Structure 1
């Protein structure tokens, strides 16, 4: 991706924060008050040293001291309120960004997930948390520090123009150190984020495959592999820390040199009676405030580079192309079940050979079709294209005579049910897994489907019945039980068309017969397409098609 310029990048945040700018404006008012609250104090101290002490005007001293205390109280209250409203702005904006990012990722096309590991994607999403620095107390401190710097410089010119001109000789060096370090730290931060994402990818791979790792005894090899990846991230982090320390010490050295220079010139001015000790004390207070704010802006700016790098990477995700639903203008409430492939060709990204090569067929409403063929022939790909998970490079797919590219994705996927060979189970209760796509199902229909699929017997053997957590990927269940649950979950959705991808893979002989009988009964007037390798499953189906080399080579075989 081309490098995004700073202003353009910052503008990308506007849609996420616009609703919460009122909190920012309120916070800004208190920031301004906080910035100016302490500015009079050095002048009050100057007056005490130059007038109250030499002239013994002690009657006015209590008023001056109380004034200083009041200014400190105003500073504390305004800073507290500023940070409170900035915190509201921070959390609400960041929550909106996270929601948008998750929504974006879930609407990315399947090609993206084919080429990215789960751990890597999760790490990229988690990087949104680092953007919070833009809206946090840290940013509030930067804004307050910047305002205080401006007001302090104005006061310094008011106190003594010559000393202030001397200070300005040193400011370019401070700016140069901060700018040079920021650029380097930003590049390092971006590289560190990528390396940490790769570590997360490897960790996810290892944890998800822990049973295989233990089975083949490859624990030490995996530890070494992850250690090497973490070592790269560690080295990058060390370099980043070193650069931050060098720049911080550079700023400190220039500040110390500035203090020495101010001391020297002020001493000369005092001896020539152009300056008083009280004025010197007041001025050094302003210089101290100026240098501390510049240091704050510099060092905090370094830490903000990680947030800036994270923002760049989050915007990269936001700029990815999602599944385009804007051109899909047709809504359908029901699918009759007529499915046509008109010379469809499809090739997965990164593959040199097409999976489907000019495939053409026409499935009529209510047909029960079996598709057989060797592994990699394209059987499951047909289902993915019907569900619009992928788009063919050539040809047209029609549902009930309507171009699939014109039908809203949700309408397609809500009305077509898929029972896959690898069923996804979430780390949730059995009931929530069953009702994942049918949250409003009636209790009567739910119990009916559970009985027909014998999932009720599975629930009876669990400690809390349907409210029992089944573990990540259904780890507390057998393969056959998971497949029964997946079948029941699909039936609860009442699909108009049923796609079955090796549905009997984990079932015993009796369970296979029960499933196929149930499907024929429930979907006798609806279109059903089954992919299988098992010839025992095809008895009683209307037609068997054989697919080879991306085409249907045998059709209309009556059984």
Structure 2
């Protein structure tokens, strides 16, 4: 790898990692990611060694041309060695390209492996993980820390190897020509290292502050420019105030960037000046020695040529500890995520639930179920950076000794005040969480013994806030059934009472519906969610406030669509509007995590209790 020059990276080290102690086994674990690329790494290091040797050999050729060819007037000699120098320069260029290609292949390969592994692992995490974790911090682990981690196998490794070889080869060559001038050159090394050590941390601090301020500005932009944020800002906010806030943040970024540029320029000027002075010293002393006959002119020129090949690598090596620690700390932050254990796990001997439900029906049984949300320690989150405020969590139980049975093909409604545990109960059924006590069964099949994929296939959910991706209508529906044909999609949309609207759009099912489906009304999104459910065709359906906050017309269409969706299926319906659950085969009344009443609408309306109170509150 070509040497010389003092780039920004040589003096922008993040010294904040100094003093950091790596966890035991981190290095060994990091090396496992090198295993798939061991031969590429070996070739990479071999090319670096060849390039370092060429870099050390070139000044010797210049010395030979001057001392032998020019001094003796031997033109063929001059031409031959000049051609050799040119050939080595071309070879160095090809070697450098080879290094860059191998470095990119190894580095991007490590990034691919880590990001794929991280994404797959995060997908396995339970809902408790996502309900606490800051999305931005999690994305930073996947992107920023993974990129920092891959530097171990590319930048850091190549820098250590190439710089060590370069310094070794150069010092051997310089001492062999003139130990006096070599010692003078080494005495000037602190003049390069000290400025880098003083200015480097300041520059790194400015860069970190700049990144933080840019992140704040980006956060403001993201919050104001997504559909919900833009609507809120236009309804309640003052655009002038938002613009002023953004301007203040960007002004700080601007001022820091100016300081950063001046600090970097000061560093470059300082090192450039010291470098020029060192060349002047070598030419001055070397020239005197050459006049006295102690050295040849070629040696003086060669020694001057070696200076950049000496100082730049030494300056870089002086910060090698910070380089290594920075990359290794990034690996540890990645490992923190990979080491998290999902609180909902699939048992080693788990069996598919799908075939059992087809043969035996989809009855549901909750048997003395107790549940509270997992604490931080139970979720095993390693860093509070990902989940601020989680250390103040409550361990209050949400469900207490809940028992009931839903017969196959029947509809059971859950009603009760907010916070009673209705949605939590539905999340237990879909294994977003597992209960601390008791058992949930589908038929006689314990839910915890089922594979997670089969649970997802067996149970379909339509929630109050039907989430849609920024994609086409067809692709949003195919999320439930990837191989769905256009005719199947059309049939599902008809059964959801929304085909007439979709078919009237210029692009039909290929219409992009925007961020979270905001190009559609709430009722239209709900009907799309029902169409997605129908396309999935699950045996068990959960409706979690699916008709809440809708106008009468939208609710009418959705109720018609739900009749189709629920026909012949075991269903659990959570509703605040009691008008939507009158036809339920069974109504469970929850309050503070306990079932207070059970029965049909006609039975419960006659009883003195919470259900009758809620009913009269809504209708009278």
Task: Tell me the distance in 1 between the aligned counterparts of 2:62 and 2:158.
Answer: 28
Q: Which residue of structure 1 aligns with residue 514 of structure 2?
A: 471
Q: In structure 1, the residue corresponding to 2:88 is in which secondary structure? A: helix
Aligned match for 2:186, one of 168, 189, 197 = 168
Instruction: Determine the C-alpha separation between the residues in 1 that align with 2:258 and 2:346.
Output: 47
Answer yes or no: is the 8 Å Cα contact 1:347–1:393 preserved in 2: no
Q: 1:102 aligns with which of 119, 143, 155?
A: 119
Counterpart mapping for 1:137-536 below 5 A? 144-171=162-189, 174-175=192-193, 178=196, 196-208=214-226, 209-226=229-246, 248=268, 251-252=271-272, 255-256=275-276, 258-263=278-283, 265-267=285-287, 269-270=289-290, 272-294=292-314, 313-322=333-342, 325=345, 327=347, 329-334=349-354, 335=357, 336-347=362-373, 350-352=392-394, 354=396, 356-366=398-408, 367-441=410-484, 445-505=488-548, 507-509=550-552, 512=555, 515-516=558-559, 519-520=562-563, 523-536=566-579
The unaligned stretches of length 5 or more in structure 1 are none
Cα distance change, pair 246–476 in 1 and its aligned pair in 2 (3 A): same
| Alignment CA distance shift 1:191-1:96 (3 Å) | farther
SS of the equivalent of 1:288 reads helix
The 8 Å contact of residues 364 and 440 in structure 2, kept in 1 or not, is answered as: no
**Secondary structure of residue in 2 paired with 1:39:** helix
Q: Residue in 1 aligned with 2:385?
A: none
Change (3 A) 1:471 1:524: closer
Could you tell me how far apart the structure 2 residues matched to 1:191 and 1:8 are? Answer: 32
Instruction: State the shift of 1:43 in Å.
Output: 2.2
User: In the alignment, which of 35, 39, 47 is matched to residue 22 of structure 1?
Assistant: 39
User: What secondary structure is seen at the aligned counterpart in 2 of 1:65?
Assistant: helix
SS at match of 2:493: helix
Mapped to 1, the partners of 2:271 and 2:22 lie a distance apart of 27
CA distance in structure 2 between the aligned counterparts of 1:506 and 1:39, rounded to whole angstroms? 76
Relative to structure 1, the CA distance from residue 263 to residue 65 in structure 2 (aligned partners, 3 Å threshold; closer, same or farther) is closer
Quick one: structure 1 residues 298 and 41, their matched pair in 2 at CA, closer, same or farther if it must change by over 3 Å?
A: same
Report the Cα offset of residue 548 of structure 1. Answer: 1.1
Superposed displacement of residue 214, structure 1: 0.6
The answer as to whether partners of 2:463 and 2:546 remain within 8 angstroms in 1 is yes
Contact 2:481 2:536 in 1 (8 A): yes
**What CA deviation, in whole Å up to 9, does each residue of 1:409-443 have, x standing for no partner?**
22222221111000011111111111212112355
Aligned positions, number: 559
Secondary structure, aligned partner of 2:480: coil
Alignment TM-score, normalising by the size of structure 1: 0.85
Write out per-residue CA displacement over residues 19-64 of structure 1, whole angstroms, 9 at most, x where no aligned residue: 3443333333332222222433322322333233333333422222
8 Å Cα contact 1:354-1:550 kept in structure 2: no
Measured at CA, do residues 225 and 554 of structure 1 come closer, stay the same or move farther in structure 2, by a change above 3 Å?
A: farther
Is the Cα contact below 8 Å between 1:338 and 1:363 reproduced in 2? yes
Distance 2:395 2:237 in 1: 36
Aligned Cα root-mean-square deviation (Å): 3.8
Cα distance change of structure 1 residues 140 and 171 upon mapping to structure 2, 3 Å threshold? same
Identify the residue that residue 583 of structure 2 maps to in structure 1: 540
Shift of 1:7: 9.6
1:252-282 CA distance string (max 9 Å, x none): 4654554455445435544553322221112
Give SS of 2:589's match.
strand
Residue 285 of structure 1 aligns to a residue in which SS?
Answer: helix
Deviates more, 1:77-86 or 1:323-332: 323-332
Residue of structure 1 equivalent to 2:7: none
* TM-score (ref. length: structure 2): 0.78
Which whole-Å CA distance do the structure 1 matches of 2:123 and 2:317 have between them?
38
Q: Take 2:535 and 2:256, find their aligned partners in 1: how far apart are those partners?
A: 51
Kindly tell me: are residues 399 and 140 of structure 1, through their superposed partners in 2, closer, same or farther at Cα, counting changes over 3 Å? same
3-state SS, counterpart of residue 83 of structure 1: helix
CA distance in 2, matches of 1:90, 1:481: 46
* Structure 2 segments unaligned to the other structure (5+ residues): 1-16, 375-389, 603-620
Instruction: Provide the residue aligned with 2:594 in structure 1.
Output: 551
For residues 189 and 11 of structure 1, the distance between their equivalents in structure 2, rounded to whole angstroms, comes to 31
Distance 1:398 1:175, change over 3 A: farther
1:93 maps to 2:119: no
1:73 aligned to 68, 77, 90, which one?
A: 90
Q: Deviations over 1:349-369 (max 9, x none)?
A: 655373614141122332311
| 8 Å CA contact retained: 1:189, 1:309 | no
Cα distance in 2, alignment partners of residues 524 and 237 from structure 1: 64
Cα distance change on mapping 1:135 and 1:431 into 2, 3 Å:
same
